[in-house]
Structure 1
Amino acid sequence: MNGDALPTLLTIGELARRTGLTVKTVRFYSDQGIVSPADRNPAGHRRYGTDAVARLDLVRTLRELGLGLPEVRQVLGRERALSEVAAAHAAALDVRIRVLRLRQAVLRTVAARGATTEELTLVHRLARLTEDERGRLVGEFLAAVFGAAAVPGGAAVSGGSAVPGAEGCWGGVAESLTPRLPERPSDEQVEAWVELALLAGDDGFRELLRGLAEDEAAEGATGAPPRPGLAVLVRRAVGPAVAAGVEPGSAEAARVVAVLLERYAELVGRAGAGEQLRARLPARLVECLVDRLVDRLVGRLRAMADPRRERYLELLAVVNGWVAPESSGEVLDWAVRAVQAARAAQAVRAVRVGGVTAGGVAGPGSW
């Protein structure tokens, strides 16, 4: 012997075992010319060189990544660079992944809501909206709440007249409530968008927000410079009491309520008018005005505490990639219970009504 090692040839069964493929699959690739036998034995059985193992390993990897046989042939035959084929396939997969994410978001939303077949169609349509279509949907929603004049491009969208007394004042608020789904949203952002779009299409929710906007305008908190609205007053007056664990029916809570009512009266009325009116009006009328003030405050707090409002803000933060907003539900609930307890104990009678007017209390409101 000359010492030269003869090349190792593999039967089709041996090649299958080394590559983890079935004999049938190896035979198919051989018939397709993807891998060719190096020789045949006297009986005509195919024999393959060891290089066929590496070639089939590459074929298996490319196929598992989703490449078709024509593309595999092009890569193996060096007709196209692997990087070029990979880039094209990655782009195609990106589109497919986005479609699958939308389908997943639809199914999760339908499952969570216990949706009907009619709602399934609506959810699916919302998930597939283009960027322009999403913009029109959001624009119509904001116009219905604030009026077309407050929404960028508002003349092109349908929906409500301007909030009385707030023409031109709501552009910043409308902007802060506008969802913008990124070009490559996460699964969570897609699901949040679908739920937010459903909420924005709810007539009851639109009416709630429009009422908030009208009350805010009546308070004058949208003027220049704007005054702190009710939400700010509640956080400042009530927040510390809630954090300290003060009971809503306690004497300490009644003192907090007195401060809140006095500041609220100043917010909704005319500054400086209260003491003059107290000197001129009968005590019973003053008590009546305070009762009306309390009624309006409780109604206002309840509207602000509507879970749909907070849910919209939570979803908006997810869609836009913002930090999750701090929940106001506990503070608002405490305020409602504390005001009602103070009224029941007649602890609101001594409140200074700096904001009353001869015609009653101006409409309050806040975001």
Structure 2
Amino acid sequence: MDGDTLYTIGDLARRTGLPVRTIRFYSDSGVVPPTGRSPAGYRLYDIAAATRLDLVRTLRDLGVDLETVRRVLAREITVGDVAAAHAEALDAQIRTLRLRRAVLRAVAKRGSAPEEVQLMHKLAKLSDEERNRIITAFVDETFAGLEVNPDFAAKMRAALPELPDDPAPEQVDAWVELAELVGDPDFRAAVRRMAEFQAEESARGAAPEGMAELTGITLAKAGAAIENGIDPASDAARPVVDELAAAYAGAFGEQDGPDFRARLLHRLEVGGDRRAERYWQLLAVINGWPVPPSMVPVFEWFLAALRR
């Protein structure tokens, strides 16, 4: 096209690939008015009108509504302003689509019932603030009125689920499971008992020192017993239990014996709910942290051996 030539709607349709009726609509609405008319009354367009039509088509293809296109052409707003606003809107749509995709993949993996699909979608589309509120309410209820170890309480409050914009199905799955877990009255009661027990120990100065070291010893000794196929109810388990009980007694500043072992058994039973470990594993999956290996089998072996 050169600058002195005028073109019909048919010429523009062939040039742009737009239907004649679409160009006529833009013309009638004043978005791309004709430059003039032929002696027979047909609309004619110059190169400036054709360029304007190209811009209209591009903006419409990008999802810009016609009124906004009109304002851009009238220079009431800039293309940059429109692009920024639409890019932000598309970002939101992309996040929504990614989340829906992750939910659908998680549903396919779980073989969810219709009711669970609704729950998963509802929980997954919550904002970070709403997700955090669920966990914060759980933590607040757990520690309400108790003087617990401040470091542990701070750890609980700081560890909040942060579902990414493009979550993997296992992250959506983990968030749904975590939300169900903290909403379970039985689990909430179990964690409350743990917090109460810890507060009581702290109040009477009975909390042991070197808990991490005790955990390491338990993992090593009971873990080796499991690997060697030692039944916790067998005589072969007794030396392991004696060694572990002595280590715990030393940390508590007490003498090993039946009374101490009864208290140790109670302590391990209160803190031995496997769902507590699952809580931290789920948080790790959601937040993309390394998921630590489970310590439940080791402590369950030690519990069984102590009961004997």
User: 1:39, 1:46 within 8 Å by CA — same for their partners in 2?
Assistant: yes
User: 1:10, 1:47 within 8 Å by CA — same for their partners in 2?
Assistant: yes
Say whether 1:333 aligns with 2:297. yes
Task: Evaluate the alpha carbon distance shift between residue 311 and residue 43 of structure 1 in structure 2; reply closer, same or farther with a 3 A threshold.
Answer: farther
Residue type of the partner of 1:246?
E
* Equivalence for 2:25: 28
Q: After TM superposition, list the pairs within 5 Å mapping 1:1-367 onto structure 2.
A: 7-93=4-90, 112=110, 114=112, 117=115, 120=118, 124=122, 127-128=125-126, 131=129, 137-146=134-143, 148-149=144-145, 162=146, 167=147, 169-178=148-157, 179-180=159-160, 186-188=165-167, 191=172, 195-217=177-199, 220=202, 227-229=209-211, 233-239=214-220, 242=223, 246-249=227-230, 257-267=241-251, 269-271=252-254, 273-274=255-256, 292=262, 296=266, 299=269, 302-303=272-273, 306=274, 308-317=275-284, 321=287, 323-327=289-293, 329=294, 331-337=295-301, 340=304
Task: Evaluate the alpha carbon distance shift between residue 113 and residue 257 of structure 1 in structure 2; reply closer, same or farther with a 3 A threshold.
Answer: farther
After superposition, the C-alpha distances for 1:213-236 in whole angstroms (9 at most, x for unaligned) are 34444555996996233x652334
User: 1:109, 1:194 within 8 Å by CA — same for their partners in 2?
Assistant: no
CA distance in structure 1 between the aligned counterparts of 2:226 and 2:5, rounded to whole angstroms: 82
- Unpaired segments ≥5 residues, structure 2: none
- Deviation of 1:106 (Å): 7.0
CA distance in structure 2 between the aligned counterparts of 1:243 and 1:21, rounded to whole angstroms: 75
- Deviation of 1:296 (Å): 4.4
- Unpaired segments ≥5 residues, structure 1: 150-161, 275-285, 349-367
- Deviation of 1:73 (Å): 1.0
Length-normalised TM-score, structure 2 = 0.70
Residue type of the partner of 1:235?
G
Of Structure 1 and Structure 2, which has the larger fraction of its residues in helix? 2
Residue type of the partner of 2:21?
K
- Deviation of 1:70 (Å): 1.4
Task: Evaluate the alpha carbon distance shift between residue 239 and residue 71 of structure 1 in structure 2; reply closer, same or farther with a 3 A threshold.
Answer: farther
Residue type of the partner of 1:64?
D
User: 1:221, 1:228 within 8 Å by CA — same for their partners in 2?
Assistant: no
Residue type of the partner of 2:165?
S
* Equivalence for 1:280: none
Identity of aligned residues (%): 40
- Deviation of 1:257 (Å): 4.8
Task: Evaluate the alpha carbon distance shift between residue 119 and residue 33 of structure 1 in structure 2; reply closer, same or farther with a 3 A threshold.
Answer: closer
- Deviation of 1:203 (Å): 0.9
CA distance in structure 1 between the aligned counterparts of 2:37 and 2:244, rounded to whole angstroms: 96
- 3-state SS, counterpart of residue 227 of structure 1: coil
- Deviation of 1:102 (Å): 6.9
User: 1:221, 1:227 within 8 Å by CA — same for their partners in 2?
Assistant: no
- 3-state SS, counterpart of residue 167 of structure 2: helix
Length-normalised TM-score, structure 1 = 0.61
Q: RMSD across aligned C-alpha pairs, in angstroms?
A: 4.6
Residue type of the partner of 2:57?
R
After superposition, the C-alpha distances for 1:183-214 in whole angstroms (9 at most, x for unaligned) are x9524399465553332221122123223334
Task: Evaluate the alpha carbon distance shift between residue 170 and residue 245 of structure 1 in structure 2; reply closer, same or farther with a 3 A threshold.
Answer: closer
- Deviation of 1:129 (Å): 6.5
- Deviation of 1:93 (Å): 4.8
Task: Evaluate the alpha carbon distance shift between residue 343 and residue 103 of structure 1 in structure 2; reply closer, same or farther with a 3 A threshold.
Answer: closer
Task: Evaluate the alpha carbon distance shift between residue 101 and residue 59 of structure 1 in structure 2; reply closer, same or farther with a 3 A threshold.
Answer: same
